[in-house]
Chains A and B, each alone.
Chain A
Amino acid sequence: MHLWLIPAFPLAGFLLNGIFGRRASKTFVNAVAVGAVLASFLWTLKTLGALWPLEALHLERYFTWIQAGDVRIGFDLAMDRLSAVMLLVITGVGLLIHIYSIGYMAHEGGYYRFFAYLNLFMFFMITLVLAANFLLLFVGWEGVGLCSYLLIGFWFLRSSATNAANKAFIVNRVGDFGFSIGIYLIYLHFGSLDFPEVFQAASRQPVEAGLGPLTLIGLLLAVGATGKSAQIPLYVWLPDAMEGPTPVSALIHAATMVTAGVYMVARCSAIYTHAPLAMEAVALIGLATAFLAATIGLTQFDIKKVFAYSTISQLGYMFLGAGVGAFGASIYHLWTHAFFKALLFLGAGSLIHALGEQDLRKMGGLRAKTPITFWTLLAAAVSISGVPFTAGFFSKDEILLAAYHHAPWMYWMGTLTAALTAFYVFRAIFLAFFGEPRGWSHAHESPPVMTVPLALLAVLSLIGGFAPVSRWLAPSFPAAQGHHETVLVAISVGAGLAGIALAWWFYVARPGLAERVAARLGAFYRLVYNKYFVDEIYRAALVQPVITSSQQMLWRKVDVGWIDGAVNGLAARACAAGDLLRRLQSGNLRSYAAWVLLGALGLLLTIGVAGGAR
């Protein structure tokens, strides 16, 4: 079926634009970039049509990548229902965002570079979901991270952008570190990295009660997923990543890349279902993240930051779904979330494009000036709030139901989060579009090349939930328990509606009330407003110690403290201090010789005197 063509198109687009884009016209760049994604989307549809109903895994082996002993790791791509859903999201939503970017980036420098990176991202993302073994998945995994890094830092003259890019990369390295150890353990435990082999072997093993190899693998993979999908404790990079151009936020940091962690957990469902402890951890991380990020979202004034925390929160929902065993629902939510969250970002981008401003406090009353943006954003908002029969309603309720059957308190926490979600999203809508204009003088609606994708996504946000994703995926996953319970659905819907109503009360009916409440809450509000000071805590607890220990500890303590102190006492010719590494590297040859002698004697004593006479 030539699955390889799906990633190959964007790769070709990247190469064409990367090599010739600098001198080529914008029309050429547009045609190549959008054409590549369109071709990839169409080829996905064609493949899907040909393989329909795709009941079994369709595997294509191209060539052997590594052959070491009896272990073969191939350059293999595979398509099953799970990757088909992902592909449709990636290429479909990706296509719309590419088109939107033509308008959004029209006046930016480095136009060709932007589209080249965007295509490269598509290539790696598609590779990630089509990969048929862990190693190839890891290639895509690292590749999307690299592209995200390049695109966050796209406006590299802003130092905040480069800092954000660095932060994203480094935080993700922490996650990848866990992920790579997880992959090593899989290799060690199963002797293979191929999905079919590993998952079959895993499903034959008994369910682990305590901490066994599968649990360990599951936990390590989850560490990787928390990095990529911005979950506690590694979520801190995503809000900063909003420094990138808005289409990047929509594509990479809302619809696709950040969902890679969820995809990976769902992909490894065979491992997780045999490691309940790891699943419980995933569920708890997801729930905690969903709630925490939602509370932070309540207080933010940068419209992109609001949606960034919303993304973190919604990803937490997906983790919760996966953790309670509702993998299908989790992917279902991934599907609907891709529509409404991409729409939220693109709509925000449209506002930013119109005003040159992303602070909600300086917007207000934009309803008339930007009607299309308003109506489409409203569609996204009702969808994410779970208003009945919109896309978000179906997927969120499935997750909450599954959570209820797992542990009722999780359902209640999730429902509370749903209310918070509805509140902060409508807070943003009301602040931007209602009330009096606050500080802007001229605004204009975006050009059709931007509004058409908005409209299409709005339609998808409203009706995308009718695609029976989780039922279609059901054969791929172990059956999730839980049947429809009208009362629970009614409660969660009610929570969403209450959130909307409260937002209306605060920001439209009684403007000024919000400030008073914030003032009343005082310290608590400031705690939330400052995002619980997590960045500051990380800096104090993790970043600073590394710098300090390499500079201060080795330096001041070891050197000045021990060596110098000792030397001062022993010999009169103690001289000035330097750090330990610096002492090592003093430039003085005789010191170097002493180190060599020390090493040789150390070896002689350990091997020769102590160890040799066995």
Chain B
Amino acid sequence: MTHSFVPTGVELLRLSPEILLVLAGTLLLVLEGLTGAKRGRELGRLALVALGAALLASLAAARQPGLAFSGSISADGFATFFRLVVIAAGLLVALFSGPYLRRESAERGEYYALLLYSVAGQCLMASANELIVLFIALETSSIASYVLAGYLRADRRANEAAVKYFLLGSFASAFLLYGIALIYGEAGSTWLGQIRAALAGPPGSATPLAGAAAAFLFAGFAFKVSAAPFQVWAPDVYQGAPAPVAAFLSAGPKAAAFAGLLRVFMTAFEPVSASWEGIVWVSALATMIVGNLAALLQSNIKRLLAYSSIAHAGYVMVAVTAHSSIGTAAAMFYLAAYVFMNVGAFAVVSYFARQGERYVHVDDLAGLAWRQPVVAALLSLLLLSLIGVPLTGGFFGKFYVFTAALEAGLVWLTVLGLLNSAVAAYYYLRILVVMYMREPSEAAADLAAPPAPVRAALWASALATLILGIFPSTVLEYASKAAALAP
């Protein structure tokens, strides 16, 4: 382990996406101060450029894979995959945030700055190879997103979302942190590799401390990915937060938290996997059931998508339960597909809701297909992907996840998971029915065509979903290579 005060060039390159995002965020804050809140649109464009550059930087960093900063981060294929996913999610959200914020007269540089900081935190979570880096990265992502949830500060719903998210998030963070403390006591280190080495001793050498640490770390991550029974915050927060922020919360933080979860549990805690796989099994099943059953009864579309995102976390948990490199690859693929389809669906909601989010009821979408056939068609594609219909990314996500589960011998979990996804079709289908088979509602009747950024975000997510459904090989191959995490 080098003890240099000055990071080398290649180390900086391996961290370049995060550096870029943080610098751009700070620049936005400064420019916001200088221009006096009049240049929101331009600052938004700058944020898009920064995210695009970070995307390229991730690819550049991937050309020099390896450890950096005393081994506390690892710019490997796994990190690159998740970096690309969370940056892409951030890019899409930033794209359709603009029209939404302008409608609420709230487009300012701070919004984009916080978005960039949050994405930077998520990128770092994906590459963190040491627990305290992981924790601080998680807090970076979280604290920024607490503020984003309450960004429309005059809105009572947004306040409530922010305070609930903040308090529960901090509560869960405290558990996560306690978990880090306990594993530090057990292993004497917070570097994942050293923890693994410490736990890999002969059977019986690990004390209950290791188990307790695994429990609390899992609780912390499960909170962020909204897995049962830690999912309680998600519906309220998604409903109350501004639609683009809800989209963001359902995508980036969730993917990044899964990245952290996978890396920690597939490397550091892999030697004691027998102690935690049972509980992950239960959590996966409970998450799927709670998400799908509750979604059946929802009429608020943001809440419905919240429960749906809980259910999808459950499917990814199935892949985690498999705890094999195939399972990890399946989880990665699923998350990539999930991020696009979910963000795309939220893009439609953010556009459709109108000022003050007046139209967020499923029935408000009635007859959308008549007024905006293209939007309806693209949304249908995304919904079909969420159902898991073939030729969409969502289908292959489920396919890989359940294949991995079967290879790990989890027959019952697979059967119950498939049953769940059969139930889930119902509530997505309800939206389809409403859009295509009802007379236009007043909400759909006076709907203007979507602004260009929303259109772009929608097309991009629909195309990504379709590409993942028709040509999944490339992505899966990459994920399979990346899934072999170095211990």
CB distance from B362 to the nearest CB of A (A): 15
Contacts of B414 on A, CB cut-off 8 Å? 181, 184
Q: What 7 pairs across the A-B complex have the smallest Cβ distances?
A: A612-B211, A608-B212, A156-B437, A611-B275, A603-B215, A608-B211, A139-B390
A–B complex contacts, Cβ < 8 Å, 29 sampled: A64-B473, A68-B326, A135-B390, A139-B391, A142-B389, A153-B436, A156-B436, A162-B433, A166-B429, A180-B418, A184-B402, A184-B406, A184-B414, A584-B290, A585-B232, A596-B168, A599-B222, A602-B279, A604-B215, A606-B278, A606-B279, A607-B218, A608-B211, A608-B214, A612-B207, A613-B204, A613-B207, A613-B211, A614-B274
CB distance from B336 to the nearest CB of A (A): 15
- Chain A residues proximal to chain B, CB less than 8 Å: 22, 64-69, 135, 138-139, 142-143, 146, 150, 153, 156-157, 161-162, 165-166, 169-170, 173-174, 176-177, 180-181, 184, 187-188, 550-551, 581, 584-585, 587, 589, 591-593, 595-596, 598-600, 602-604, 606-609, 611-614
Contact pattern, B 188-218, Cβ under 8 Å of A = 1, otherwise 0 = 0000000000000001101111111111101
For residue B448, CB closer than 8 A to chain A, the reply is no
Please tell me if the beta carbons of A611 and B211 are within 8 angstroms of each other in the complex: yes
Contacts of A139 on B, CB cut-off 8 Å? 390-391
Residue of B nearest to A146 (CB): B389
Give chain B interface residues in 279-314, CB to chain A under 8 Å. 279, 290, 293-294, 296-297
Please tell me if the beta carbons of B215 and A606 are within 8 angstroms of each other in the complex: yes
CB distance from A589 to the nearest CB of B (A): 5
With A65-B473, A593-B168 in contact, is A581–B293 under 8 Å at CB? yes
Please tell me if the beta carbons of A596 and B216 are within 8 angstroms of each other in the complex: no
Selected from B419, B437, B470, B477, the residue in CB contact (under 8 A) with A177 is: B419
With A596-B171, A603-B279 in contact, is A608–B473 under 8 Å at CB? no
- What is the total of A-B residue contacts with beta carbons within 8 Å? 176
Selected from A69, A174, A550, A612, the residue in CB contact (under 8 A) with B208 is: A612
With A65-B472, A611-B276, A612-B209 in contact, is A143–B425 under 8 Å at CB? no
Contacts of B422 on A, CB cut-off 8 Å? 173-174, 176-177
Contacts of B396 on A, CB cut-off 8 Å? 66
Q: Is the interface of A mostly helix, strand, loop or mixed?
A: helix
Residue of B nearest to A174 (CB): B422
For residue B442, CB closer than 8 A to chain A, the reply is no
Please tell me if the beta carbons of B214 and A596 are within 8 angstroms of each other in the complex: no
User: Within the assembled complex, what's the spacing in Å between the Cα atoms of A602 and B236?
Assistant: 24
User: Within the assembled complex, what's the spacing in Å between the Cα atoms of A591 and B233?
Assistant: 10
User: Within the assembled complex, what's the spacing in Å between the Cα atoms of A142 and B213?
Assistant: 45
Please tell me if the beta carbons of B437 and A162 are within 8 angstroms of each other in the complex: yes
- Chain B residues proximal to chain A, CB less than 8 Å: 163-164, 167-168, 171-172, 175, 203-204, 206-216, 218-219, 222-223, 228-230, 232-233, 235-236, 272, 274-276, 278-279, 290, 293-294, 296-297, 326, 329, 373, 384, 389-391, 396, 399-400, 402-403, 406-407, 414-415, 418-419, 422, 425-426, 429, 433, 436-439, 470-473, 476-477, 480
User: Within the assembled complex, what's the spacing in Å between the Cα atoms of A587 and B239?
Assistant: 11
Contacts of B373 on A, CB cut-off 8 Å? 22
User: Within the assembled complex, what's the spacing in Å between the Cα atoms of A69 and B235?
Assistant: 38
Contacts of B223 on A, CB cut-off 8 Å? 596
With A156-B436, A584-B232 in contact, is A614–B203 under 8 Å at CB? yes
Residue of A nearest to B400 (CB): A68
User: Within the assembled complex, what's the spacing in Å between the Cα atoms of A592 and B470?
Assistant: 41
User: Within the assembled complex, what's the spacing in Å between the Cα atoms of A125 and B359?
Assistant: 39
Contacts of B326 on A, CB cut-off 8 Å? 68-69
Contacts of B402 on A, CB cut-off 8 Å? 184
CB distance from A169 to the nearest CB of B (A): 6
Contacts of A585 on B, CB cut-off 8 Å? 232, 235-236, 294
CB distance from A345 to the nearest CB of B (A): 24
Residue of B nearest to A605 (CB): B215
User: Within the assembled complex, what's the spacing in Å between the Cα atoms of A360 and B208?
Assistant: 77
With A188-B406, A581-B294, A596-B223 in contact, is A603–B216 under 8 Å at CB? yes
